[in-house]
Amino acid sequence: MAEEEKKKKSVDQATVEMIEKASSDGCSIVFERAETLKPCPIGAVGSCCSNCAMGPCRVPLPKGREETPEEKAKRRGICGATAETIAARNFVRMIASGAAAHGDHGRKVAEVFLAAAKGEAPGYQVKDEQKLLQLALELGISIADRSNEEIAVDIGELAQQEFGRQEGELLFLRRAPLKRQELWRKLGVAPRGVDREVVETMHRTHMGVDQDYKNLLHQGVRTALSDGWGGSMIATELQDILFGTPSPVFSQINLGVLKEDQVNLLIHGHEPQLAEMIAVVAQDPEMVKYAKSKGSNGINLVGMCCTANEILMRHGIPIGGNFLQQELAIVTGAVEAIVVDVQCIMQGLVEVARCYHTKVITTDDKARIQGATHITFDEYNAIESAKSIIRAAIDNFTNRTKSIRIPQYKTGLIAGFSHETINYLLGGLFRASYRPLNDNIINGRIRGVAGVVGCNNVRVTHDDGHLAMVRELIKNDVLVLQTGCSAMASAKAGLMVPEAAVQYAGEGLASVCEAVGIPPVLHMGACIDNSRILIAATAMVKDGGLGDDISDLPAAGAAPEWMSEKAISIGQYFVASGVFTVFGVTWPTLGSKEVTDHLFRDMEDMYGGMWAFEPDPVKAAHMMIEHIDKKRKALGIDKARERVLYDMAMRRELE
């Protein structure tokens, strides 16, 4: 493969080496499949409807020119559905699917939380008592002289009810700035219950129901809000209480964390309850002894995708890589088992594993893969389930073939920046607050804050979009908050250590990072933890000086390499919370100008935040910076920034 060709696939050297190895081992991987299978240009822009058996109906725009009014009038499905209805239906179905994925994750966490509180799930217990009590106070649950378990039962039950709530509004909406809550109520998008919104969206998008694109997108907003301020937030909060609220932790990332002389066990997916238990049981001396009896030097636990983020944030367990590296970990030939639960797990893993000795182990009864080994993870008997899974991996060590090559790339990172940690780092234990961050935004050392999140997408160069965008932002004094696979891209490139501030950040941002001792790019967790960014934004509003709503903040969001439906739900709840949000790669409503205009323009009038699409990550970063500057101007703090750039006294102070 030519050097240029290789670079086009990934900017990550470990990835490039493993793509080559897969090819020489005769093993088909996602990068190769993407060459032969091209995306359908009609479906990609939301112009194909398959919602009934009279279709699928394709309603493409004419190529390379504006459509005439006559053509537009005819651009309809068999049932008469317009291109607008079709694009909007497809878009809100993506939101419903993403919200369902996060919601079901949250529901499972609430179930395990409740079982643990009742003593029915041995091995799990409350780890963060302070957060438990704070949440109880917030939810109006009595603390008095009750035990943690009693309080946790009440919290768990209340959390479960949020999914099936039929009327009223989700409890965590109250966390948003007051002005934002009022706006949601006024516009009629305050979600009732998580399940209800998802089901209603599926109903409305059924053949022959809601056929007004604005009305459909309105329900899309309500559904997305039930994810961000509902399912996702419930998951993050209860996970923190049960498994511990993250605090700064050092670790390493990339395929070089695999160890040739140990049993390599990869955990991949999203829900932390399995990974947490495996993390504990893998250290059991009995398990380690068993691994040694097979000729290995121990058990090396490695994370992949968002499960990786969960156990990185709480235990510092190293990360193998992000979404597009899942098959490549197997290609090293050194992985005994890849244990998966739900979401972002490529079915291709099973085929890749056939080329080597790796076992693919599915663990969730709702997510099986043909050809994989299934070992049900039973949360009520978690320790025994974890032991069976680890034993299966150990037993596979002796089946290794000779074709082992671990790329020698790994990078150090600091993770663990939960909202609570940022609050503490900035303000101290007794004065915990976002005040110093707000002050530094007001005085212009920090220009603004950006959330850069989301997946990898094989249609663009792996990690390139994330890195180009994040580097551009920090160079321009924008503090970057990250989650998901995007965070991993930055970590691999060395942006998540404090020293990165001096090397890559503008002098204002670098000075603040140096003073506080943080990297210019903060790892806030898994995709589900985007709720932490909502809380951080709300805390900035509440600390004062930056307006009275999230939409007033000099802040923006982005997903430069998105691919999953969850990303669309996340983007939509950020937009509806008042954040300008730009996506890369492709945009799924380009088949309808009206739908796209509504999302890109009208939503700003309605929500103060809106969508944008820009495939060039550097241009996208500048759109975010422009938005941040617009907000600074509206707040009257644009002058402070000019002073930062030109005032010598301030420069001396920075030095």
Which positions lie near ligand SF4, rule CB under 6 A? Answer: 49-52, 54-57, 77-79, 81, 86, 207
User: Is 485 among the residues that bind ligand MSK (CB under 6 A)?
Assistant: yes
Structure tokens at 616: 């060039």
Q: Which of 172, 229, 290, 323 binds ligand MSK (CB under 6 A)?
A: 323
Choice between 1 and 54, CB closer to ligand SF4: 54
Residue 191 · residue 218 · CB < 8 Å: no
Question: Is-contact 67 83, C-beta < 8 A?
Answer: no
Nearest C-alpha neighbor of 21 from the set 312, 331, 270, 346:
331
Cα gap 326→526, rounded to integer Å? 16
Count of residues interacting with ligand MSK (CB under 6 A): 13
| Residue 448: closest CA among 506, 517, 525, 518 | 506
61, interface contact from ligand MSK, ligand SF4, none, CB < 5-8 Å by kind: none
CB of 67 to ligand SF4, least distance (A): 18
Q: Residue 566 interacts with ligand MSK (CB under 6 A)?
A: yes
Q: CB-wise, 16 or 488, nearer to ligand MSK?
A: 488
Residue 183 amino acid letter: L
Interacting residues of 236 by C-beta distance below 8 A, sequence separation 6+? 525, 528, 529, 531, 532
* Residues contacting 617, CB < 8 A, separation 6+: 464, 465, 466, 468, 469, 472, 560, 584
- Give the separation between CA 242 and CA 131, rounded to whole angstroms: 10
Q: DSSP alpha helices (H): ranges in 264-381?
A: 272-281, 285-293, 305-315, 326-331, 348-355
Give the separation between CA 559 and CA 620, rounded to whole angstroms. Answer: 10
| Helix (H), strand (E) at residue 627 | helix 617-635
Nearer to ligand SF4 (CB atom), residue 50 or residue 398: 50
CB of 416 to ligand MSK, least distance (A): 17
Closer residue to ligand SF4, CB minimum distance, 79 or 590 = 79
CB of 49 to ligand SF4, least distance (A): 3
Please give the biggest Cα pair distance in the chain.
Answer: 76
Task: Please report how close the Cβ of residue 573 comes to ligand SF4 at its closest, in angstroms.
Answer: 27
Task: Give the rounded distance of the alpha carbon of 354 from its chain centre.
Answer: 30
Instruction: Decide: is 527 part of the binding site for ligand MSK (CB under 6 A).
Output: yes
Q: Report what 635 binds from ligand MSK, ligand SF4, none; CB cut-off 5-8 Å by kind.
A: none
Contact 418, 131 (CB under 8 A): no
Query: Which of 541, 405, 543, 557 is closest to 484 using CA atoms?
Result: 557
The residue written with tokens 């009629």 in the block is 188
* Among 230, 248, 484, 578, contact with ligand MSK (rule: CB under 6 A): 484
CA distance 356 to 299: 19
Partner interacting with residue 79 (select from ligand SF4, ligand MSK, none; CB below 5-8 Å by kind): ligand SF4
Instruction: State the minimum distance, in angstroms, from the CB of residue 571 to ligand SF4.
Output: 25
Residues 6+ apart with CB under 8 A from 36: none
From ligand SF4, ligand MSK, none, interface partner of 78 (C-beta below 5 to 8 A by class): ligand SF4
Residue 54: which of ligand MSK, ligand SF4, none does it interact with, CB under 5 to 8 A by kind? ligand SF4
Nearest by Cα to 563 from 465, 450, 473: 465
Of residues 93 and 566, the one with the C-beta less far from ligand MSK: 566
Site string for ligand MSK, 431-470 (x = CB under 6 A): -----------------------xx---------------
Nearest approach, Cβ of residue 89 and ligand SF4 (Å): 8
Q: Judged by CB under 6 A, does residue 487 bind ligand MSK?
A: no
Distance CA 474, CA 129 (A): 36
Using CB under 6 A, which of 49, 100, 306, 437 touches ligand MSK? Answer: 306
Contact by Cβ (8 Å): 543, 619: no
Residue closer to ligand MSK (CB basis): 323 or 611:
323
344 binds ligand MSK (CB under 6 A): yes
* 506 lies in the site for ligand MSK, by CB under 6 A: no
Query: Closer to ligand MSK at the Cβ: 533 or 628?
Result: 533
Minimum distance, C-beta of residue 206 to ligand SF4, in the bound complex (Å): 9
> What, of ligand MSK, ligand SF4, none, does residue 338 touch, CB below 5 to 8 Å by kind?
none
81 vs 389, beta carbon nearer ligand SF4? 81
Contact present, 300 and 262 (Cβ < 8 Å):
yes
Q: Is 192 in the site for ligand MSK (CB under 6 A)?
A: no
Distance CA 490, CA 467 (A): 6
Which residues contact ligand MSK by CB under 6 A? 270, 305-306, 323, 344, 454-455, 484-485, 526-527, 564, 566
